[in-house]
């Protein structure tokens, strides 16, 4: 599986956009980038995923560079409830591990008033 690199922590002011970077320089052509977050004491929550094109849903936007070696998760108007650990994951593309998610250490995002 392609490995991902994220900053260990980030801060963001409430109401501002939070931009969380992820490096996945060894990603394969048919591997997807997934983002999850985990709020304290809860199971991880799906946010968004993409392959090549930028994606947007009600929670966030995902910007993937043209070479696919990095991506950025954007929370357009961060709230205090967005404080969580954010995981950038590249999904296994095939073989017996198809579909398995490999979690890294993630980025601790703290949204402050």
Partner 1 sequence: GAGVSQSPSNKVTEKGKDVELRCDPISGHTALYWYRQSLGQGLEFLIYFQGNSAPDKSGLPSDRFSAERTGGSVSTLTIQRTQQEDSAVYLCASSLVGQGDSYGYTFGSGTRLTVV
Residue numbers at the binding site for partner 1 (CB under 8 A): 30, 32, 36, 42-46, 49, 51, 87, 96-106
Q: The tokens of 101 are what?
A: 């998610």
Nearer to partner 1, 29 or 113 (CB): 29
Name the residue nearer to partner 1 (CB basis): 102 or 110: 102
Q: Which of 8, 73, 80, 68 is nearest to 39 (CA)?
A: 80
| Rounded least distance, CB 61 to partner 1, Å | 17
Rounded Cα gap, residues 45 and 13, in angstroms = 22
Measuring CA to CA, which residue among 73, 84, 72, 74 is closest to residue 111? 84
Closest distance to partner 1 from the beta carbon of 91 (Å): 9
Q: Which is nearer to partner 1, 16 or 56 (CB)?
A: 56
């Amino acid at each position: 599986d392609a490995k991902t690199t994220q900053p260990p922590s980030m801060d963001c002011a409430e109401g501002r956009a939070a931009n969380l970077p992820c490096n996945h320089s060894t990603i394969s052509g048919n591997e997807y980038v997934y983002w999850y977050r985990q709020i304290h004491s809860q199971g991880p929550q799906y946010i968004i995923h993409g392959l090549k094109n930028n994606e947007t849903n009600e929670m966030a936007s995902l910007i993937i560079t043209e070479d696919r070696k990095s991506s950025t998760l954007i929370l357009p108007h961060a709230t205090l409830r967005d404080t969580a650990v954010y995981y950038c994951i590249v999904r296994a593309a095939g073989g017996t591990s198809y579909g398995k998610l490999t979690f890294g250490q993630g980025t601790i995002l703290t949204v402050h008033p």
